[in-house]
């Protein structure tokens, strides 16, 4: 009986040691997309790698960087036009972001990256963090996010853009 108790305690301790940190919640979905938006559109800490409003040029640039034929959302009827794009390095592989502007200081981003080695694809979702709103989903083997400020103008633009995307 004592041997069984020692064995159970030993297995429980070893299992707990191996599982430590597994239930900490991990990284929130598309946190990298929100950080990229914050760096580029909010803090203005980075510049664009390509500056052009031409959607065909941006689509070719984007597809060549992330290895997928990506269709850009058309937001002309919402007053947004693409400004350009930026490439980012992530743990999952190369990511790219296209930044849109409405001419009144409001920006929205379209972000795409591979799911990584674990093939972690996302269900459609939405979350707020630090004054930003992200709508995210997976399609065609890639993860996507639309990010904007969480204020009313940003929220409307992000939701409209997410509805038009893929």
- For 46-98, the pLDDT digits (tens) are 889 999 999 999 999 988 888 778 888 888 877 889 999 999 999 888 999 99
* pTM of structure: 0.78
Nearest partner of 38 among 116, 129, 124, 138, judged by Cα:
129
Give dist(CA 23, CA 93) in Å, integer.
25
Fold adopted by 29-164: Phosphorylase Kinase; domain 1 (3.30.200)
- For 131-164, the pLDDT digits (tens) are 999 999 998 889 999 999 988 666 777 776 666 5
Angle at the Cα of 149 from the Cα atoms of 68 and 89, rounded to 5 degrees:
35
In the chain, domain spans: 29-164
- SS3 assignment, position 133: strand
- SS3 assignment, position 73: coil
């Amino acid at each position: 009986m004592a041997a069984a108790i020692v064995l159970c305690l030993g297995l429980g301790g070893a299992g707990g040691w191996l599982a430590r940190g597994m239930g900490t919640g991990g990284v929130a979905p598309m946190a990298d997309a929100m950080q990229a938006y914050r760096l580029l559109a909010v803090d203005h800490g980075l510049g664009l790698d390509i500056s052009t409003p031409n959607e065909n040029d941006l689509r070719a640039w984007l597809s060549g960087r992330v290895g997928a034929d990506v269709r850009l959302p058309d937001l002309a009827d919402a007053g947004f036009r693409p400004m350009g794009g930026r490439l980012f390095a992530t743990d999952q592989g190369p990511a790219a972001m296209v930044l849109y502007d409405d001419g009144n200081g409001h920006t929205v981003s379209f972000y795409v990256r591979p799911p990584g080695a674990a093939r972690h694809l996302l269900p459609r979702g939405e979350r707020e963090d630090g004054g930003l709103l992200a709508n995210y989903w997976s399609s065609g083997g890639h993860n996507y996010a639309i990010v904007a400020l969480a204020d009313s103008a940003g929220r409307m633009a992000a939701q409209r853009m997410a509805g038009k995307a893929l």
